[in-house]
Structure 1
């Protein structure tokens, strides 16, 4: 009985640990302790439980720093761990899209995928109007974060990379790649340049990564043109 009570008390904190990994990507215990203002011992206890239940896996840290002792481990969410977040309607959505595909064809699925993202351009324009200091990729990441995609922008070797640590429709997109295709199209329109998908959670990668090439000559995005 005492163990059951402890499990119930620990559950919200354990959820915070899993959420931190979801939003920040694979993380060490030390990083999680700092993010959540918990002791390393407490973090490791929760990580042990998440490992035992299959919600996370341990992997070698990607740091290039040489340190004494055993290499640090990073903890990443598994597919089962991701299932805890905003995916309870996957089965219903997949059934609806299968019906649409069977009755109206794959083009209808793509049309639906495009329509469900039709709000993105206006939302990004509104964010940039409220904060002109934001670049188009930064504004797009902010919009995506408000809709559960845990997105951020990193500097890559040939430009920037839009990284989405979470995709609420990943399981459905695995069966219907039109969802990813439409998303890439709207990213390209919002950013005013060709973008390339390097990885997607829907295809088994740990993060959705979109390459945004560096501009050789400045030119306005559709959002910038509307605000000028």
Structure 2
């Protein structure tokens, strides 16, 4: 499970090494050329060539940064530009936004929120018979595959605490989520249900983070509220 990831989401209009480089930058947030070279097993010259072409196309930019605790000379760190971010699918976000505008106008905001929440209930209903006898590894594989199909670029890491860290590198409905933050709560409840776990959101794309991150741990064996559940780290810290 350590480092498990699904690789179905590809940047639109790119293929080959340049698509791979853009995807690595999307997942990591920022990388030096040598880091890209190691991860993709490409020569340094090939990586620099592709980065130059991606910069010329406006998909990638760079800054000089100190790495390794500030020791040594600064290095170039490459990141996606807004045009580079736009290469990743948004799951018909414009059409969804127009639909929600219509629902809000005709039936009110609560009805629009219900439409969004219903999608996660449908996903949970689809997965329930598949997961009924699934092992933990099979459960994770099924859920991450579903998230990948939905465009979230998920990655899962086992932690030393016996929990898992679920990282979603892409939000396919980012603009919708900013308008209707309730959809993020619905997603977290969906994760808690299908993973049969307690889920804590540690980072949130809609709050300006580079990814959504969830700590996924076992459900308490006893006590009030026992069962799959969700908490938000920011909300918990304010309590």
Task: Tell me the equivalent position of 1:134.
Answer: 137
TM-score in terms of structure 2 length: 0.69
Query: Match for residue 206 of structure 2?
Result: 202
Q: Distance in 1 between matches of 2:41 and 2:215?
A: 33
Identify the residue that residue 174 of structure 1 maps to in structure 2: 178
**Given the two structures, how large is their TM-score scaled by the length of structure 1?**
0.71
- 2:123 aligned partner: 120
Helix, strand or coil: the match of 1:146? helix
Change in 2 beyond 3 A, CA 1:213/1:72: farther
Deviation at 1:149, TM superposition (A): 1.3
CA shift for structure 1 position 17:
1.8
The change in CA–CA distance for 1:130 and 1:193 in structure 2 (over 3 A counts) is closer
Give the 3 Å change call, closer, same or farther, for CA 56–115 of structure 1 in structure 2.
same
The whole-number CA distance in structure 2 between the counterparts of 1:103 and 1:138 is 40
8 A Cα contact 1:27 1:75, kept in partner: yes
Correspondence list, 1:50-129, <5 A: 50-58=54-62, 65=68, 69-87=72-90, 89-122=92-125, 124-125=127-128, 128=131
The alpha-carbon deviation at position 204 of structure 1 amounts to 2.8
Counterparts in 2 of 1:69 and 1:162: CA distance versus 1, 3 Å? same
Aligned counterpart in structure 2 of residue 29 of structure 1, from 15, 21, 33 = 33
Give 1:18 deviation, angstroms.
1.0
Compared CA separation, residues 60 and 136, structure 1 to 2 (3 A): farther
Per-residue Cα deviation, 1:55-85 (whole angstroms, up to 9, x for no partner) = 334467897x569643555433343312112
Of structures 1 and 2, the one with the larger relative CO (CA 8 A, separation 6+) is 2
For residues 91 and 104 of structure 1, do their structure 2 counterparts lie closer, same or farther at Cα, with a shift above 3 Å needed?
A: same
User: What's the RMSD between the two structures over aligned residues?
Assistant: 3.7
Q: Which residue of 2 aligns with 1:187?
A: 191
Change (3 A) 1:98 1:165: same
Question: Any conservation in 1 of the 2:66–2:74 contact (CA below 8 Å)?
Answer: no
Structure 1 contact 161–211 (Cα < 8 Å) conserved:
yes
Give the superposition deviation at 1:35: 3.8
Give the deviation of 1:136 after TM superposition: 4.5
Q: Tell me, which stretches of 5 or more residues in structure 2 are unaligned?
A: 1-13, 230-239
Q: Deviations over 1:178-204 (max 9, x none)?
A: 321211121122233442323222333
Partner of 1:160: 164
SS at match of 2:45: helix
